[in-house]
Chains A and B, each alone.
Chain A
Amino acid sequence: MDANTDYDVIVIGGGPAGMAAALEAQKAGSRVLILERNDQLGGILPQCIHNGFGAVNFGSDLPGPEYAWRYEQMLKQTPVEVILKTMVVDLTPNLEIYAINEHAGYLHYKPRAVVLAMGCRERTRAQIRLPGTRAAGIFTAGTVQRLVNIEGYMPGRKVIILGSGDIGMIMARRLTIEGAEVLSVLELMPYLTGLRRNFVQCLQDYDIPLHLSTTVKRIIGNRRVEGIETIQVDADLNHIPGSEQTIACDTLVLSVGLIPENELSEKAGVIPDDRSRGPRVDSTMATSVPGLFAAGNVTGIYDLVDYVSKAGETAGRSAARYARRNTAEPPGAHARSTESDTDPSTRRIRIRAGANVGVVIPQEIDLDAVDQNPLLLMVRPNALIEHPVKIRIRAGDDYPVTMAEPYARPSEMMIKELKTRHLQSLIDSGAQEITVELS
């Protein structure tokens, strides 16, 4: 079967990153196609019926479905093509896409550029090595969210939630609103792992207790969950014998983290970032594979959809630019154009995560591609520092850039714009590698 070469840019995934990427690529003159696995656009947003979306991009506080709907309306005003219920099963290093759906069967494309926007998936019971029986009534928080908000089923009546991340707290409130009794939210760490505003508006407001430094020791029940044995942990996260408590319940909800979805990225041969667990991306959201861009949760877990959309816009613009430069060549050709005659390696600065930083996105600055759009640096702390801190960018023995923050929390990604003067200091330092530190 011959590949369809009609498209400049194909976006894999029609969630917030993918929709924003498609809009920007189209605006830049590309012919764009979105391939979406679900039967509607929006990614995870249609099931995120709580408000809290859009503060940055729309200046208002919207529920997830309406945030997605606004982007969908914008897409409808454009010639961007969308194919739903279509799953991409393979992506090659020279950007050949193989997909399947119930109408066409097999689909084969070879666009000039590709944007990866597959989002993330949930960590499961196996990944936290949760012992006990295989009783019914154990769900991940996202599955419960889909059951309750899209399909209209209640997973149970008496619920324990493990994990104080945002989805866990939001589902504690959601299940309470729909009439379930949420007995408690347990958190292994000695601190809340989600946003404090969700602690207030999801737990406090609905009188749902939070137990820190506490986890599930054992699940009780054979056919159905009948109870949970909880246990407290010490500073090293080891169980404290004698602190066990048995709570009768019929449902255990796991909100224990998200992982970038990168099966396709791996097939395409991207170089992964060992911190983000997504592909390594530069400031244009380019991966290590020429013509392959990535944005949103596929590159690392974001807190706010607004910044996922912004990353999508960057990826879309970059993909369109790449496609335009390569229109003379057959689609998918391995040409990496540069506008300057200098050695490309001297025009790029590698960014590494240093002290107290878990993840930094992007992991490289492409100095040739700096334009009028803000260059945003996402910094995920991996330590809880409840006093004023400094984000310091180290180049060799110098710190050419320093920015102040009131605190650092693993639950809150720091978003910093690298302004022209910051970039100039980094260029002046002559460093080819910089390290982002928090102290």
Chain B
Amino acid sequence: MANNYATRTDICLRCPRGCAIETIQGPEGEILKISGNQCKLGIEYVTQEISDPRRILPTSVRVTNGTRPLVPVWTPEPIPKRLLMELAEASREIVVEAPVHVGDVVLDNWKNLGIRLVADGEVPHN
């Protein structure tokens, strides 16, 4: 095979099974063959990973007047990987008022990118 064909292996992050998926790309980066996946999520994952890698950010933010000092939050939709640390830093400045419920949006449309942080735990009012 000519040198301008590239093979890469990705560990699929879509479920805990973690398939090792091998992808062969042509000279223009086009995907020629995907193998090693055990389900269709694997194909979705490597296609996304090659063009625009995205990850979920799980973290926590501070709560005032709550029974606990923190509430867990996450980006239910994966965000561009390059923005992970920037959002992590931004989340350290967020403070929300109790009560906080599962599903409450604590940061909406961050940087006009449609990115949101959503609470995944409950903190009752103190």
Asked whether B58 lies within 8 Å of A200 as measured between CB atoms, the reply is no
- Interface residues of A, CB < 8 Å — how many? 32
Which one, A52, A55, A66, A151, contacts B120 given CB within 8 A? A66
Q: Is residue A1 contacting chain B, with contact meaning CB distance below 8 A?
A: no
- The answer for the CA separation of A148 and B60 in the assembled complex, in Å, is 9
Least distance between B123 CB and chain A CB atoms (Å): 10
Asked whether B62 lies within 8 Å of A152 as measured between CB atoms, the reply is yes
B43-85 CB contact bits vs A (8 Å, 1 = yes)?
0000000000001111110100000111010100000010011
- The answer for the CA separation of A64 and B60 in the assembled complex, in Å, is 13
Which one, B16, B68, B120, contacts A62 given CB within 8 A? B120
Least distance between A132 CB and chain B CB atoms (Å): 32
Least distance between A286 CB and chain B CB atoms (Å): 28
Asked whether A303 lies within 8 Å of B16 as measured between CB atoms, the reply is yes
Interface core residue of B59, B89, B121 (most chain A CB under 10 Å): B121
A151 with B69, Cβ < 8 A, contacts A63-B74, A69-B122 known: yes
A65 with B13, Cβ < 8 A, contacts A177-B57, A179-B92 known: no
Asked whether A200 lies within 8 Å of B13 as measured between CB atoms, the reply is yes
Asked whether A69 lies within 8 Å of B102 as measured between CB atoms, the reply is yes
Stretch at the interface among A43-51, A101-109, A240-248: A43-51
Q: Which residues of B have CB within 8 Å of A176?
A: 85, 88
Asked whether A63 lies within 8 Å of B72 as measured between CB atoms, the reply is yes
A197 with B18, Cβ < 8 A, contacts A46-B121, A51-B74 known: yes
Q: Which residues of B have CB within 8 Å of A69?
A: 102, 120-122
Which one, A50, A199, A205, contacts B84 given CB within 8 A? A205
Q: Is residue B6 contacting chain A, with contact meaning CB distance below 8 A?
A: no
Q: Is residue A150 contacting chain B, with contact meaning CB distance below 8 A?
A: yes
Q: Which residues of A have CB within 8 Å of B14?
A: 61
Which one, B12, B13, B59, B81, contacts A49 given CB within 8 A? B59
Least distance between A411 CB and chain B CB atoms (Å): 10
Least distance between B88 CB and chain A CB atoms (Å): 4
| Closest partner residue, chain A, to B56 (CB atom) | A51
A142-176 CB contact bits vs B (8 Å, 1 = yes)?
00000011111000000000000000000000001
A49 with B88, Cβ < 8 A, contacts A65-B72, A149-B72, A195-B16 known: no
Which one, A65, A148, A205, contacts B121 given CB within 8 A? A65
Least distance between A85 CB and chain B CB atoms (Å): 13
| Interface members, chain A 285-304 (any B CB < 8 Å) | 303-304
Least distance between A199 CB and chain B CB atoms (Å): 7
- The answer for the CA separation of A149 and B85 in the assembled complex, in Å, is 17
Least distance between B116 CB and chain A CB atoms (Å): 14
Q: Which residues of A have CB within 8 Å of B120?
A: 49, 62-63, 65-66, 69
Least distance between A131 CB and chain B CB atoms (Å): 35
Q: Is residue B34 contacting chain A, with contact meaning CB distance below 8 A?
A: no
Which one, B18, B55, B70, contacts A195 given CB within 8 A? B18
Asked whether B13 lies within 8 Å of A201 as measured between CB atoms, the reply is yes
Asked whether B58 lies within 8 Å of A197 as measured between CB atoms, the reply is no
Asked whether A150 lies within 8 Å of B15 as measured between CB atoms, the reply is no
Q: Is residue B107 contacting chain A, with contact meaning CB distance below 8 A?
A: no
Asked whether B102 lies within 8 Å of A52 as measured between CB atoms, the reply is no
Least distance between A47 CB and chain B CB atoms (Å): 9
Would you give 15 A-B contacts (Cβ < 8 Å), ordered by A? A52-B16, A55-B15, A55-B16, A61-B15, A63-B121, A69-B121, A69-B122, A150-B68, A150-B70, A152-B69, A176-B88, A179-B92, A199-B11, A206-B84, A206-B85
- List 8 A-B pairs, minimum CB-CB distance, nearest first: A65-B121, A49-B72, A197-B18, A66-B120, A152-B69, A177-B88, A63-B120, A50-B58
Residue positions of A touching B, CB distance < 8 A? 46, 49-52, 55, 61-66, 69, 148-152, 176-179, 195-197, 199-201, 205-206, 303-304
Residue positions of B touching A, CB distance < 8 A? 10-16, 18, 20, 55-60, 62, 68-70, 72, 74, 81, 84-85, 88-89, 92, 102, 120-122
